[in-house]
Structure 1
Amino acid sequence: DFSRFVNGQKFHQLRKIHLNNSVEDPSYVNEKLGSELFRAVGMPAPRVGHALVELNGRQLGLYVLKEGFTEDFLGRYFKRVDGNLYDTDWGHDVDERMKRLLGRGPDDDQRDLKAVAKAAREPGLSRRWQRLTDVLDIDRFLTFMTLEVMICHRDGYSLARNNFRIYDDPETKKMVFFPHGMDQLFGKSDLPWKPRMAGIVAQSLMETSEGRLRYETRFTTLFTNLFIVDRLTNRVNQIVASLRPYLEKQEFKAVEREAAEVRERIVRREFDLRKQLSQRDPALLDFKEGIASLAGWTKVDEPAGGNMDETTTPEGVRALRIVAGSKTSASWRTTLRLGRGHYRFEGQTRISSVTPLPFGKNQGAGLRVTDKTLKAINFTGSSNWKKLAVEFQVDRVEEDVELVCELRASAGQAWFDKDSLRLAKSSSDQGVHLDHAPDP
């Protein structure tokens, strides 16, 4: 902060800078590339460069340099710069007290944040949409949310309630979200284009039909016009080339190797998104008398030294089998679209000589639901067929839910009876009480 002790002092026209040693991004390109993508579509995002840092005569090496969130930064995007600017040092969403970086009036007021939180919690979906448009710059937020998902900013607001800033624009009296901390991008190429959101505002918006429709339209538009592989990979090359004159030969080669991986991640992400966008959304799962059978199981993390297959046991049971290697965390998975309600995922499981791993809370064979199961799995040793079950709640109007038949072990085998694997819906939703659903 160059103006902390001398009011108005600047360094190369900047009041504040942020230096990052890029330990999470040895390519040194993610933050700059991500910021440029946001700015390319008119979103407020800091300018990013690089610096060779020396402290008291000690050479610290290459750093990523970002401009700070100051009035000068705000002035490039807003007519007025006297609004409240919030940081995540304290709270991590609009329903929590956040640190105010800039603004006027009492620091603990934060009525602007409270208004957004109240709008996001409006139970009536049509009223919720209207209330959100009253307090939130919807157009910018849709772009913000879309880009975070598109570039796999998994440590940002939409997916993790982290690394963001919020500005209350006094001109429009609406809140605007900014990206931050984009040093790990494109890391999960198969991230769904309509994932389960973590941020309250993102969750709330996607539960409304208008919000979902506008998000889908914005995503397909930006994917077509912005996510152009040749441009992005060439830009990575340009950023890396700009560092060549300032690095030793071996340092530059290391950066080049990491940048090549970034280019590969960009290519894989574009391929996966194109595939996802070409597919129709799944229909809501059909329940008959509160029960739905399950299909579409796929292998995930097939173990080295083991194997996974669909087999028929000597007693004629069709089963999903996992044979453990020395370090196994393997599963059969299927993804379903479910409506709001309470559910139970259940099925018969048999194990033989299952030895737990020396680490982790989940051990042995079990059933779970991704991001929803809290109870630890601990089914080890040998056992004949045993009914396992896990209950979970879907709070959104519609949600894609991943069901998992898992084995975490260093030895042994597990069988999951395919015909017994099913989903039961609670009596309040389907007329069947979970505790009394008939056995298969």
Structure 2
Amino acid sequence: MNSYKVYIHPKDLQTLNKDIWSDDVVPGILKHDAKKLLIDITYRGDSIRKYKKKSYQITFKKPYVVNRNHVIHLNSEYKDPSLIRNKLSLDFFRSLGVITPRAQHALLYLNGQFKGIYLELESFDEFFLKKWNLPEGAIFYATDNDANFSLLTEEEEAKTEILQGYSEVFDTNGKGEQLLSDLIYKINTLSNLEFEREIPKMIDIEKYLKWLSGVVCTQNFDGFIHNYALYWNSGTGLFEISPWDCDGTWGRNRHGELLPYDYIPIEGYNTLSARILYNSTFRSLYKKIMEDILKNKFTEYQQKPLIYAEIEKIKPWIDKDPYMVKKMPVFLSESQFILDFVRNRRLYLLRELVHLS
């Protein structure tokens, strides 16, 4: 497991803590693999910032790129008593053929104090594209619940900007905003016949349906309208979708509370999913994809060794993590809890396949 030793001058740490909601960075030093790296660091995430175990974004300054990354994220996974749901989810999406950032657990020390077990995530940016030999293009993050592929906000009020809810991360040729604007507008205005003909020219339908299957199986409540990235692939001329921050999954929500296995329907929700699944051809493709996943991927047999492998990796450090000591009894029962969720969720989805006929 990677070990990161971060040092921040006390004055800069005081600045960082003065406004935990600010994205302004402070300078620091990262020691890793006997190397001393100059970095910028800030808190990241939304509600997690108000908890004691915070998440961090680290930007490399000198050297500018480390292991082909310019930015990495260290997620505290504070509300997940297993610490593995995010990792399990991202690995699951990748197994479905969805473009997905890599994740691995790491140990974090801040100014010599052990801060616990974290999940290190790749940043989905231009460096990610280069690292994995993907074509350049444009990348957008869904930064809040208005990233719902609709012309209306979450409160069902008219949006003042069509890209409300999205944040541009990278754009090779400056066409990304216009391409995404056109996509969202057409999703909401095309007739059903026009939708079937035009939308596959703008978004990779099969990859979207694989992503939708992943969100539905893991029951990622936030994932439909938040916590995803859109990547316009210049090689295909199509948008693809990628998951992000999947800690509220596998039977719990993002607050760590129990979520009934049948909480989210097999169709999921958001405007794009609704329009795609209204079409019989696309719905049949979704059913075929889901049937294959429920047979070969989302099963107790397939997931059990993955769950236990992740638990065993971090188990030696749980009683040393200052934020996990009191959660040890729950942690030890989480493997079976997640397996029970897989069994119940899978049976529920198998019954619900009839609605896709």
TM-score past 0.5 threshold? yes
Change in 2 beyond 3 A, CA 1:17/1:196: closer
Alpha-carbon distance between aligned partners in 2 of 1:215 and 1:64, rounded to the nearest angstrom: 31
Q: Does residue 89 of structure 2 align to residue 16 of structure 1?
A: no
Partner of 2:331: 258
Q: Does residue 246 of structure 2 align to residue 182 of structure 1?
A: yes
Report which of the two structures shows the higher radius of gyration computed on alpha carbons: 1
Alpha-carbon distance between aligned partners in 1 of 2:273 and 2:307, rounded to the nearest angstrom: 29
Q: Is the 8 A contact 1:87 1:164 kept in 2?
A: yes
Query: Gaps spanning 5+ residues in structure 2: where?
Result: 1-39, 41-57, 150-161, 252-259
Q: Does residue 210 of structure 2 align to residue 143 of structure 1?
A: yes
Worse overlay, 69-78 or 144-153:
69-78
**Alignment root-mean-square deviation, CA:** 2.9
Change in 2 beyond 3 A, CA 1:93/1:149: same
1:102 to 161, 170, 175: 170
Partner of 1:274: 347
1:191 to 263, 268, 273: 263
Task: Compute the displacement of 1:281 (Å).
Answer: 3.9
Task: Compute the displacement of 1:252 (Å).
Answer: 7.0
Q: Is the 8 A contact 1:50 1:62 kept in 2?
A: yes
Amino acid at match of 2:237: K
Partner of 1:89: 143
Amino acid at match of 1:202: S
Q: Deviations over 1:108-132 (max 9, x none)?
A: x611111211331244212212211
DSSP-derived class of the 1:50 partner = strand
Higher relative contact order (CA 8 A, sep 6+): 2
Aligned pairs (5 A) from 1:368-387: none
Alpha-carbon distance between aligned partners in 2 of 1:162 and 1:143, rounded to the nearest angstrom: 17
Alpha-carbon distance between aligned partners in 2 of 1:243 and 1:202, rounded to the nearest angstrom: 36
Change in 2 beyond 3 A, CA 1:196/1:257: closer
Q: Is the 8 A contact 1:35 1:45 kept in 2?
A: yes
Q: Does residue 126 of structure 2 align to residue 55 of structure 1?
A: no
1:225 to 280, 285, 296: 296
Q: Does residue 191 of structure 2 align to residue 124 of structure 1?
A: yes
Change in 2 beyond 3 A, CA 1:196/1:239: closer
Q: Deviations over 1:302-334 (max 9, x none)?
A: xxxxxxxxxxxxxxxxxxxxxxxxxxxxxxxxx
Change in 2 beyond 3 A, CA 1:177/1:240: same
Alpha-carbon distance between aligned partners in 1 of 2:333 and 2:196, rounded to the nearest angstrom: 43
Task: Compute the displacement of 1:43 (Å).
Answer: 1.2
Task: Compute the displacement of 1:37 (Å).
Answer: 0.7
**Structure with higher helix content:** 2
Task: Compute the displacement of 1:225 (Å).
Answer: 1.1
Q: Is the 8 A contact 1:135 1:174 kept in 2?
A: yes
Q: Is the 8 A contact 2:138 2:169 kept in 1?
A: yes
Partner of 1:70: 125
Query: Gaps spanning 5+ residues in structure 1: where?
Result: 284-397, 399-440
Change in 2 beyond 3 A, CA 1:14/1:245: farther
State the TM-score, normalized to the length of structure 2: 0.69
Q: Is the 8 A contact 1:47 1:66 kept in 2?
A: yes
Q: Deviations over 1:85-128 (max 9, x none)?
A: 00123652444242111113458x61111121133124421221
Task: Compute the displacement of 1:176 (Å).
Answer: 0.5
Task: Compute the displacement of 1:179 (Å).
Answer: 0.2
Partner of 1:111: 178
Q: Is the 8 A contact 2:262 2:348 kept in 1?
A: no
Q: Is the 8 A contact 1:190 1:272 kept in 2?
A: yes
Alpha-carbon distance between aligned partners in 2 of 1:280 and 1:84, rounded to the nearest angstrom: 35
Q: Is the 8 A contact 1:25 1:183 kept in 2?
A: yes
Q: How many residues align?
A: 277
2:220 to 153, 169, 175: 153
State the TM-score, normalized to the length of structure 1: 0.57
Worse overlay, 187-196 or 44-53:
187-196
Change in 2 beyond 3 A, CA 1:16/1:259: farther
Alpha-carbon distance between aligned partners in 1 of 2:330 and 2:59, rounded to the nearest angstrom: 39
